[in-house]
Every structure is written in structure tokens, then in C-alpha cells.
Amino acid sequence: MDEKDIQILATIAREGTASPDKIEEAIGIPKSTVHYRLNQLRESGVIENDLYDIDLEKVGLSITLISEVWAEFGEGYHDTVGEKLADVEGVNQVYFTMGATDFVVIAHVANRESVESLVEDYESIDEIERTSSKFVITTVKDEPNPLNDFEIETLVETLTE
Amino acid sequence: MDEKDIQILATIAREGTASPDKIEEAIGIPKSTVHYRLNQLRESGVIENDLYDIDLEKVGLSITLISEVWAEFGEGYHDTVGEKLADVEGVNQVYFTMGATDFVVIAHVANRESVESLVEDYESIDEIERTSSKFVITTVKDEPNPLNDFEIETLVETLTE
DNA sequence: ATTGAAACTTGATCGTT
DNA sequence: AACGATCAAGTTTCAAT
């Protein structure tokens, strides 16, 4: 993970594609070199696969629900309970957090009925004590690629420190 | 957005690529047809562009911070304040929510110092009254493609209803 | 590890149904 | 709108550094 890798990753984020051609065009590193680096990054697990940025509204998953979930304490329960939450259909993100709240869960569903069953699914998990959910009115930002939030120079600075 | 579109979108999510070839291989729809459909989906804004699934730990952005942010009420403030939050370097998601909390903000940063400046940045926004942040200890699940949380049959059912 | 050029695979186009 | 055949464009490989 040197500066060249970060440049490539940042370009992928910015251009929205991992095409060696496009990356060469954007930052001047020959496409065969880019290809070589991309393979390294794949092998070392830094990047996983291609995917698509989908407009949830247009696809019909217009409801976003953010839930705080409290669970009993127990050996490795943040793993087992976390997995159970992750397995609920519609659940996109599961964070296990420090402090009073145990989990933060974000889910996308199509309609009100799905919201009901979602919360029921959470609360039917044995170790779960309590949940509290917020409806999202507007998604101001939802950037699938976190690197896109940074300037390339900032990234190179902070990540090579 | 008929069943065929949903099959294609679900395959993109599952296979992690939008390659017409791979999609034909997976569900048998000829790649020229897939190509045609993908163009439609692009034009209608359902899908935006390719991107990459990046391992934040490996890339060095190992700290995730979930913040609740309360703001003053004002004409269209959820837009303007939301944008200001979205512009803070490192901020990945900004949700404007119903109920007591106004915004939920998720950010990814490299180190403790960045956490400090992140929260400072939030609180330096004029309309912001109060913030409360949680550290994420473990990211149990963070699926960039929401469609990947569903079975194809479920999707076809719920989205064509 | 890098790269220019060659080989090959794939995505995009076209014409027909 | 669907799709098989064709073409153009891209990715991947290779040999030399």
C-alpha cells in the first residue's frame, strides 16, 4: 500500500470504475501497471469486487430505518447477535458500538408492512432486550465508496503517515 | 422495472459485477439483451456507475464513528445543514430523520486526531446545537449493495407487488 | 515492479424478427 | 423489445528492462 496504490484506489472512487484504461487516462500510470497493481490489491483483500451504485428510491426500496438495539451481555454475544441481526432480510449495515447502545442497524425496505416485520424480527432474537428505531426522511448523502469523501492528497498524507 | 430488470439488478448485486457476459452466464439472458437493459437502467437513473468494495481496515480507515446531530429548526435547514455535514471530510452517510434526533452521520477516519477534528467540524456549523457520537467496535456487516440483502424471489415479489 | 506492444476477451453495435 | 452475428474496444498477457 504505497502512494501509487492509494492514487489508484482514489481514482477508482472518483471515476466510479476500475477500468485500467480509464485509470491510465486519469493519472497517467500505464494500464498494464495498473492491472498489475489491481491484482495485488485483490489478492491482499483490499478490494473485493465490482458492484453498482443503485438508486434505492427508483428501485422501490424507499424506506430507510435506523435502529438502536440493546442486547444482553454474554460471551462473544456481539458476534452471534450481530450475525443474527445481519441475517434479517433487508438489513444492510450492522455496527457493534462502544457505550450504552449495543448495535446500530440500518435497513432498507419497500413498505410499512416490511418495517413492522423488520422490528419484529429484531425483537424475536433471544438476546435482544430493547430496540428503538428512527425513520429516515431524507438521505442527504450515501456514498458507497468511502474513499470518495477525501481529496487524493489528504489520503496519501493520512494513509502513508 | 419489470421482473427481468430486477433479475439483472439482483445478479449484479450477487455476482459483484455488471458485466453482460457474467450476467448471461448467471441467468441465461443474452448479453446483448442485458446490455440493452443496462442502458435503460442507466438512463432512468436506477444505476449510476461502477465502483469498488474496499476493505476499510486494510486501507487504513479503521475508525467508524456514528454521530447523532441535533440542529435548530429553520426553513429548509435539513437541506443546508445536511449538505454542510456531508461536506465534512470523512463523512460517508448523512440521514435526516423523523423524531427527536435530526441527523445521523456516519464517518470513516484513520486515527484519533481525525475523530477530534471531525466532531469539531460538526459543532462549528452554525445551526448545530448538540452532537453525540458512538465509536464502532466491530462492523458486523456493511453491504454496499442493498439488493444483496434479499433473495431474488423476494425482490421480484415485493418490488413488482 | 514496470512497461510497450501483442494477443485475446469482452462489451457495444447493427440488422432482423 | 429481444437477440445472434459482427465489430470495436477493452483487458490481460508477455517479454524486456
Q: Decide if domain A3-52 falls under CATH 1.10.10.10.
A: yes
Please identify, in words, the CATH class of the domain defined by A56-135.
Answer: alpha beta
Which chain A residues contact residue B98 at CB under 8 A? 134-137
**Where does CATH 1.10.10.10 sit in chain A?**
3-52
At A114, is the pLDDT very low, low, confident or very high (cuts 50, 70, 90)?
very high
Q: C-alpha angle A65/B60/B49, rounded to 5°?
A: 55
Alpha-carbon distance B92 to nearest alpha carbon in chain A (angstroms): 5
Q: Is the CB of B29 under 7 A from strand D?
A: yes
pLDDT of amino acid B71 = 95
Give residue-wise pLDDT tens across range B113-123: 999 999 999 99
Closest partner residue to A93 among B51, B89, B141, by Cβ?
A: B141
Phi/psi of residue B85, each to 5°?
-65, -45
CB contact under 8 A, B66 and A104: yes
Instruction: Look up the protein residue whose alpha carbon has the minimum distance to the C1' of D9.
Output: A21
**Where does CATH 3.30.70.920 sit in chain B?**
56-135
Q: For residues A103-126, give the mean pLDDT.
A: 97
Closest partner residue to A49 among B17, B47, B147, by Cβ?
A: B17
At B99, is the pLDDT very low, low, confident or very high (cuts 50, 70, 90)?
confident
Cβ partners under 8 Å of residue A96, min gap 6: A78, A82, A102, A103, B136, B137, B138, B139, B140
Q: Give the DSSP letter of residue B91.
A: E
At A73, is the pLDDT very low, low, confident or very high (cuts 50, 70, 90)?
confident
**Would you state the cell numbers that stand for residue A11, as one nine-digit string?**
481514482
Q: What is the pTM of this model?
A: 0.96
**Would you state the cell numbers that stand for residue A48, as one nine-digit string?**
473485493
Q: Is A85 exposed, middle or buried (0-12, 13-18, 19+ CB in 10 A)?
A: buried
Give residue-wise pLDDT tens across range B137-150: 999 999 999 999 99
